[in-house]
Amino acid sequence: MTFNTTDLCDEHGDLARVVVQPLVDFGARAHCSGPAVTVKCFEDNSHIKTLSMQSGEGRVLVVDGGGSHRCALLGDMIAEDLLKNGWAGVIINGCIRDKAALAQLDIAIKALGTSPRKSVKREEGQVGLTVNIGGQLIANGDRIYADEDGVVVIDTLTSQ
Ligand SMILES: O=C([O-])CC(=O)C(=O)O
């Protein structure tokens, strides 16, 4: 689908809910769109790892990592799996690592920044909860549209 977030905001007005969060592009592409799969976790990327190995079917992984800069929730191995398994992109309210390698991958990866330390894997966190990132509630299945200008959420019914 061809879109840009500026046009979506112009067309949909307040129904285009803009994520007000300073996210940086780390993948080789900035564009992605698709239904959200939400993860809420804190310094534990177990669920992200598990989901990355499942079929993405064009969905966007939306991770509320609590804004932590103390460790990375995604690195090159998870990102390669997301790409290989058909995820459209990943948006993380948290950090990534392996920045140089991520820049080679043809998938949208947006996050707060980098940390060289990996997170723990203790199976903590939840999948499918409504998360709050950048002042927007994002529910599992909400439509995500992201590009160089930002991330926009449009609820399923209004995006038909
Ligand atoms: O496995 C992790 O915790 C993150 C990582 O380094 C990778 O995805 O390569």
What distance in angstroms lies between residue 69's CA and the mean position of ligand 1's atoms? 15
User: Which atom of ligand 1 approaches the CA of 118 most closely?
Assistant: 3
What distance in angstroms lies between residue 6's CA and the mean position of ligand 1's atoms? 33
pLDDT in tens, 59-98: 999 999 999 999 999 999 999 999 999 999 999 999 999 9
Asked whether 78 lines ligand 1 (CB < 6 A), one says yes
Asked whether 101 lines ligand 1 (CB < 6 A), one says no
Could you tell me if 75 and 96 are in contact, meaning their C-beta atoms sit under 8 angstroms apart?
yes
Beta bridge partners, 158, equal none
- The interface predicted TM-score of the complex, written ipTM, equals 0.93
Mutate to test the pocket of ligand 1, among 45, 48, 114, 122 (most ligand atoms within 8 A of CB): 45
CATH number, domain of 135, equals 3.50.30.40
Dist CA 13 CA 114 (whole Å) = 33
Written as six digits, the tokens of 121 are: 């894997």
Q: What pTM did the predictor assign?
A: 0.95
Q: What is the span of the domain harbouring residue 139?
A: 5-159
Summarize the annotated binding site for Mg(2+) as residue ranges. Answer: 98
How many separate domains does the chain show? Answer: 1
List per-residue pLDDT tens for the chain, 160 residues long. 689 999 999 999 999 999 999 999 999 999 999 999 999 999 999 999 999 999 999 999 999 999 999 999 999 999 999 999 999 999 999 999 999 999 999 999 999 999 999 999 999 999 999 999 999 999 999 999 999 999 999 986 554 4
The candidate with the shortest Cα–Cα distance to 55, out of 91, 90, 92, 84, is 84
